Structure 1
Amino acid sequence: MKSPKGKYAWTVTVGEKGQFVIPKQAREIFDIKPGDTLILLGDEKRGIAIPPKSSFAEFTAKIFEDKEDDDD
């Protein structure tokens, strides 16, 4: 079965310390380098997501935008 263009799936194994290695192909595709900070989002019903690091600024801007709206 061929996956749709731009869609990927990998498996990882969680070690005893709760760590896992991001597969090389994923690191290359998403330009993840040693020392990069990643966002880890979790939803008990839907699971865990690790969005691309480029979305970090957009994500935090949205959080602060909502906070400013609440303060008015």
Structure 2
Amino acid sequence: MSQHTSDPDDPTTAPPLAGPEGRMFYGAVTVGERGQVVIPAQARRDHGISSGDKLLALGSPEGIALMSADRLMELLGDATPLAEHVRKAAGA
């Protein structure tokens, strides 16, 4: 994780909080009228997300997560039925 200057009392600059199994809490986001959200800057830096990058939206009964197509393909491997759908969605 990259280091940054922060004020722990300011929720807009406080460092992310560590959770179980390396998961991080970066803060809350608001869904706009068109369904858009802004990923917190520290989360983008920590995960190498840049403007124009394509992310995949994953869902489970517990919630929604975003992941790069490359990372999901690493986790899935090429031999799964989901892999072809991921490649198509990512435009690969």
Q: TM-score, normalised by structure 1?
A: 0.66
Partner residue, 1:51: 67
Shift of 1:8: 1.7
Q: TM-score, normalised by structure 2?
A: 0.54
Tell me the alpha carbon deviations over residues 14-67 of structure 1, each in whole angstroms, 9 at most, x when there is no partner.
Answer: 111110100100000000011111011012x211111345413323623348xx
Q: Structure 2 unaligned segments of length 5 or more: list them.
A: 1-16, 85-92
Partner residue, 1:21: 38
- One of 12, 16, 21 as aligned partner of 2:29: 12
The residue matched to 2:18 in structure 1 has which SS? Answer: coil
Query: Aligned AA for 2:63?
Result: G
Query: Aligned AA for 1:38?
Result: L
Q: Structure 1 unaligned segments of length 5 or more: list them.
A: 66-72
The residue matched to 2:42 in structure 1 has which SS? Answer: helix
Aligned residues: 63
Tell me, yes or no, if the aligned pair for 2:73 and 2:83 is still in contact at 8 Å. no
